């Protein structure tokens, strides 16, 4: 399924796949490909960083669900539904997010470029940690890889990405993207 170019619909698709992986998780303590993180920490990361980013940059408050430690499935669902509500709200088109690192952007663009992309890539982490289907949309992988390669120095200096992991020359685009962001595409927690 090709991903939409519209921020609200793309979030619905990307977050929908992540939601499927959350619901399919049987062990929240399973190690993940992110060093030092368990499956639960992947959900924690996605539910914890965006509320502060949105709140401080746009004044938008996302709803709070239970803690990820208490109920990771419900924590994710409340958070995901809150983000989708913001994107589906016609007023969001008129709201700006201001951040000293990224400048001023429409809220839906900021969510799309920073958060939805993060959910997309962390879907692989949760899927791999929990033994679920870890295939990502190949066209979106290629698009992200192309965009990220152009700003590699900025990304690496942000501290958000690990050192590039070398992959075989004939690797598919998903494998290349994972290596680029510092993941070992061949990681296995078993």
Residue-wise pLDDT for 127-145, tens only, equals 999 999 999 999 999 999 9
**Residues paired with 103 in a beta bridge:** 99
Tell me if 2 is assigned to some domain. no
Task: Please tell me whether residues 114 and 166 are part of one structural domain.
Answer: no
91, 109, 135 - which closes a domain: 135
Number of domains in the chain: 2
Task: Please tell me whether residues 144 and 112 are part of one structural domain.
Answer: no
Tell me if 54 is assigned to some domain. yes
pTM: 0.93
**Residues paired with 99 in a beta bridge:** 103
Distance (Å, rounded) from C-alpha 68 to C-alpha 126?
A: 14
Tell me if 148 is assigned to some domain. yes
Task: Please tell me whether residues 108 and 174 are part of one structural domain.
Answer: no
Task: Please tell me whether residues 141 and 131 are part of one structural domain.
Answer: no
> Which domain, by its residues, includes 113?
7-135
Angle value at C-alpha 135, between 72 and 178, nearest 5 degrees: 90
| % of the chain with per-residue pLDDT over 90 | 83
């Amino acid at each position: 399924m090709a991903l939409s170019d519209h921020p609200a619909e793309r979030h619905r698709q990307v977050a929908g796949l992540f939601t499927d992986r959350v619901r399919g998780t049987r062990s929240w303590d399973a190690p993940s490909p992110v060093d030092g993180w368990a499956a639960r920490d992947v959900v924690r990361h996605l539910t914890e960083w965006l509320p502060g980013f949105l709140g401080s940059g746009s004044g938008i408050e996302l709803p709070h669900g239970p803690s990820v430690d208490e109920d990771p499935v419900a924590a994710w669902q409340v958070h995901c539904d809150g983000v989708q509500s913001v994107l589906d709200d016609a007023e969001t088109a008129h709201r700006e997010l201001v951040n000293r690192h990224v400048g001023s952007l429409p809220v839906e663009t900021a969510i799309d470029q920073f958060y939805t992309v993060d959910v997309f890539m962390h879907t692989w982490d949760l899927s791999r940690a929990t033994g679920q289907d870890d295939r990502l949309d190949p066209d979106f992988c290629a698009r992200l890889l192309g965009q990220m390669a152009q700003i590699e120095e900025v990304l690496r200096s942000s501290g958000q990405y690990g050192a590039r992991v070398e992959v075989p020359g004939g690797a598919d685009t998903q494998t290349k993207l994972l290596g680029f962001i510092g993941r070992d595409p061949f990681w296995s927690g078993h």
